[in-house]
Structure 1
C-alpha cells in the first residue's frame, strides 16, 4: 500500500504540475482510479464521503469568509486607511517603504494575494516611479507582509493544511499568532532598512525637493458606502473578537457576519446579488478545491495508504529524527512549495509528513503550522500566478523579482520557523 500511495501522489503531482489536469479534477479522478484498480470500488463512496464530511466546516468557513471580506472591501472599509497612509508617506523614501508594508498588511486580511498586489501596486507604484525609487522594494514589502498575513484561517495555506490533516483552521491559526507578529516585525525592520538605504541613494533630506503623494488618492467606487464606515468597522471587529473568544463555530460566525454586511450595506436585493456574483467565481473555485481535497485524502487515509507511506517514510529517516517532524516539515516546505504548487504540497506531501509525525506522537497541529512557514519562498514560485501579475505591473521579469526578493524571503521563513519554535507553535 505504501508503493501504491506514493505512486498515486506522484501521478497527482505530475498531472497538475504538467497542467494536464486542473487540481480539482486530479484530486477527484486520480484517487478514484487507483481505488478501483485496488478493488476498493464498494468502499470508495464511504471513503470519499468521510473525507468530504471532515472538510465541510473548512469549506463553509472559507465560502462565507471570502464573501464577507470581499463585501467589506467593496463597501470601502479599507479606503480611509489607504488614503491616510498615502497622505502620511509624502516624499520620504523611508515613510514610503513603511507605508507600503502597512497597506500591504492591511489589504492582505482579505486572504487574496492578487487583490493585495493590485491595490498596493496601483496606490504606490506612481510614487516609487516619480521619486526614482527602486520598484522592486515594493515587491519585497508585498512579499514579506502578504505571506505572513495570509496565514489567516480563510487564507489558502492554512485552509489547505487544515483540510489535508482534517483539523480546524482556527486552531492552526491561533497557535501561530505570536509567530505572525514576529514575522510582521521582520517585514517592518526590512522596510525601515530599505527605506534608509533609498534615502541615502537618492540624497533625500527633510524639507528637500520631492513629490507629495496626496493627490494620488483613489477615486471612490459606486459600491463604496463611506457613511457606513463605523458600522462596518464595528461589525468586522466584532467578528474578529467573536472568533477569538470562541463564541460560536467559525463557519456560523462568518455566515452571520456576511448576512449582516449585505443587509447593512446593500439592502436592495439586486445589489446583494451583484456583490455575491462579483466574487462567486473565486469562491466556487476554492470550495470545489476543498471538497475535492476531502475526496483525495478520504481515499488516501481510508485505504490504508497513508499508514503504509508513513511507515516507509519513517524507515528512511535518520535514527532519532522522528520527534523533530515539525521542524523537518517546516524545512521541507521551503523547497517543496517553491518547485510545486500549494495543492501538490498540502494535499500530496503533507498527509505523508503528518502520518509520519503521528507515529512519534507529534501533534498534527504542529505539523500543519510548520507546513505554512515556507510561504514567503513559495510566493516567488514560477508556478504562482500572482508573481507574474506583480512582475507585469512592475514591468520587470520574474527572474528579477526572484533575485532581488529571494534573500528576504529566506530570511522571513527562517524568522517564522525560529519564532514558531520559540513560542511553542511547533515543537
Structure 2
C-alpha cells in the first residue's frame, strides 16, 4: 500500500477511545477583548494521554480561557493553588498570598487579569487569571511537592489552534486499525462518520474521485482501496452493506477531494498530509537534513514515551510525582547524574520549555533508545514496584551512556542545543503543506 508505515508492535498502539468509538465533546472558553465577552466554544476531542513525560493531566482540574487578542491561554490562579497545595480553601490561600506579595512589594501578581470562567454553581464569574509566564513567577512562592510536575504540564499546553488540530488528529487516530502484518488502515464507513458525511452515497462519490486521482498518479487504486464486507443486523436477518479498507494514502486523497466547506475536511487534509510527510521522512532518514531528522525522531519519541508511561503504570507507578521521579531516573542514567531540571539549565532553557524540543537528532536518538529499551525490559521481565522500575530506568540509561562511550561518541549533555525548537520546525512544515 502506498503511504503506509512500518510495522509496529501491538503494545505501542494506544487505545484512546471507548469500544463504541464515541466522540467526546468538551469545551474551552474564548475571551474577546474587543467585546469584553467570554464565550464557551465546543471542540471535538478523543480521550488521549498527554504528549510526553506525563501520563496524568490537570485539564479537568484547572479552568482556562483563550485570549483572542493576545493568543495565549489564561489559567485560573485559584485552581492552580488548589492542585499545588490541596488547600480546602484555595480562594483564601490565593488572597493571603496576594496580600503578602503586595506587602513585600513583589510584582509577580500585578499583571494578572480578572476574566469570567464557569464557577461551581454553573454561573460565569470573574476570577483572577494568569498566562504561562505569569504563573511560573507566581508558583515560585507556593511551596509544593507537585511544582515540577505542574511545570511540565504547563509547558505542554498548546495554542488553541494547535489544540484543535491535535484533537482532530486524535479523532483520525482513534479509527486507525493495524492488520496482522503491522500495516495500518482505515474503514471507509468509520471515516465517513469522522468526516461528517451523513449519507453513504455522497461519501462514496468522494471515494470515486479519490480513486480516479490515485489512478492518474500512476498507482493501482486496488492497492489502496480494497473492498471488504461489513455485516449489519437488519431486524431478524443480517445484511452485507460493504465497506472499503483504506490506506493512509487513500485517506489523504479522500480528504483532498472532500467538501472544502467542512472544517473537519480542512483539518483532515492537514493531518493526513503531515502524516504522509512523516512517513516519507522515516523512509529516507539517512538522506534527510538535520532538521528533518529531528522531526522524524521527535515524533517517534512521542509515541514511545506514551508506551513507556503505560509500562510504568503497569509496574505500579500511578502517582504523578512518582512518575516524574521515574522519568528523572532515566535522565540520571543517560546524562551522568543530571536530571531534567539540570539538563534544562545546561541548555539555557526556561522552565516552560521542553528539553526534548531542544535536542538534536543524535541526542533524541539516544533518548529514544533509552525509552524503548526501558519499556521493553519492564514488560518483558514483568517488573513491579516503584523502586524496581526506577532502578530499571536508571540502569538502561546508564548502559546507553556506556555504549555511546564505547563507540567514541559525544556524551548527550555535551551535544549542541539547536537554535530552533521542534514546535518551530513543525509550524514551518505545516506552512509548506498549505
TM-score range, shorter chain: under 0.3
Q: Whose Rg is larger?
A: 2
Q: More helix per residue: 1 or 2?
A: 1
Structure with more relative contact order (C-alpha pairs < 8 Å, separation 6 or more): 1
TM-score by length of 1: 0.27
Q: Which has the higher strand share?
A: 2
